[in-house]
Chains A and B, each alone.
Chain A
Amino acid sequence: MIPTHYFLILSAILFTIGVVGVLTRKNGITIFMSIELMVNAVNLTFLAYARQFHQVHGLIFVFFIMAIAAAEAAVGLAIFITLFHHRDTIDVDEANLMHW
């Protein structure tokens, strides 16, 4: 049996990679993929803890997170498509109609 903290460390690494992606990339879809990576890291943490505690609660939360991630993907990609209709780009730095 592989100890729980191995999975936790893997998930922390994946989460950090996702955070770096969000902070450094400009392409909207790539940023969104980095967010999906972060959410998957969270799922891994939940499953690792669920096995540690022998509880089904963590598994069910992961089930819900997956459903919500699917809904988010649908809405987010629809927003990107609409933006692309306007601008022909999804570069988030180009979205500067409103000054910061």
Chain B
Amino acid sequence: MEFAIFFFFAAVAVIFALVVVLHRNPVVGALSLVASFFALAVMYVLLEAPFLAALQVIVYAGAIMVLFLFVIMLLNLQHVAEPVTRPVQQFLGYTSGAAFGLGLLYYIVKYAVFAKLPAGPFVTDARTIGIKLFEAYVFPFEMVSILLLAAIVGALLLSGRQYQKREAAP
């Protein structure tokens, strides 16, 4: 049963990821990415990390992808089909990407196959993560808070109203 769920959602994740990369309309791409992220959330549940599965749905599928869709709509790009890329660049992209992927798969299959999983339950509820986060990881946690502040300042600065549009083009 577990394997059936895994293969079904793995297929969903891969197919929608391919749609993101191959489809020429950004709205279709963004919605497919949401579907792919949902499938990954199921993977996280299978990996005994329900808390992160919830975060995946809330943060990635919820916040980040809504931001993407919002910007696509704001810039009115939903009707803009992307022109076809130069064939040479496309070919190089596909071949080098495929070579990279095959190399990666080879190494993983050869070296990263673990004989068996450790026994016993793997406790990853919000409580365990929270305690770890505020004890051992309090330093990176505070760093992330500063990073988020910097990002807010930057996003406001850049996307804020322009006081004089297209002034003094060099």
User: Given the complex of chains A and B, what is the CA–CA distance between A6 and B109 in angstroms?
Assistant: 9
Known contacts A20-B93, A23-B93, A29-B68; is A56 also within 8 Å of B21 by CB? no
**CB neighbors of A among B116-170 (8 A):** 117-118, 120, 122, 124, 128-129, 132-133, 137, 140-141, 144, 147-148, 150-152, 154-159, 162, 165-166
Chain A to chain B: the 8 pairs with minimum beta-carbon distance, closest first: A16-B101, A23-B93, A71-B151, A20-B97, A24-B93, A21-B21, A78-B158, A78-B159
Q: How large is the interface on B (under 10, 10 to 19, 20 to 34, 35 or more residues)?
A: 35 or more
A65-100 with Cβ < 8 A to chain B: 66-75, 77-82, 84-86, 90-91
Q: Which residues of A (18-56) have their CB < 8 Å from a CB of B?
A: 18-21, 23-27, 29-30, 32-34, 36-37, 40, 43-44, 47-48, 50-54, 56
In the complex the two chains form, is A34's CB within 8 Å of B21's CB? yes
Interface size class of A (residues with CB under 8 A): 35 or more
Tell me if A5 and B112 are in contact (CB < 8 A). yes
Contacts A33-B33, A36-B64: A80 and B71 contacting too (C-beta < 8 A)?
Answer: yes
CB pair B48 A84 closer than 8 Å: no
Do A33 and B20 contact each other (CB < 8 Å), given the known contacts A26-B83, A51-B48, A77-B71?
A: yes
A30→B26 contact, CB < 8 A: yes
Given known A5-B113, A36-B64, A60-B132, contact A70–B108 (CB-CB < 8 A) = no
Cα of A68 to Cα of B2 in the assembled complex, Å = 32
Distance between Cα atoms of A68 and B105 in the complex (Å) = 27
| Cβ–Cβ < 8 Å partners of A73 in chain B | 64, 67-68
Q: Which of A29, A47, A80 contacts B47 (CB 8 A)?
A: A47
Known: A66-B60, A69-B64. A59 touches B52 (CB 8 A): yes
Complex CA distance for A91 and B63, rounded to whole angstroms: 24
The one of A5, A26, A63 that contacts B52, using a Cβ cutoff of 8 Å: A63
B51 to chain A, nearest CB (A): 8
CB of A81 to closest CB in B, whole Å: 5
Is A14 touching B47 in the complex (CB atoms < 8 A)?
A: no
Chain A residue numbers with a CB within 8 Å of B157 are: 78
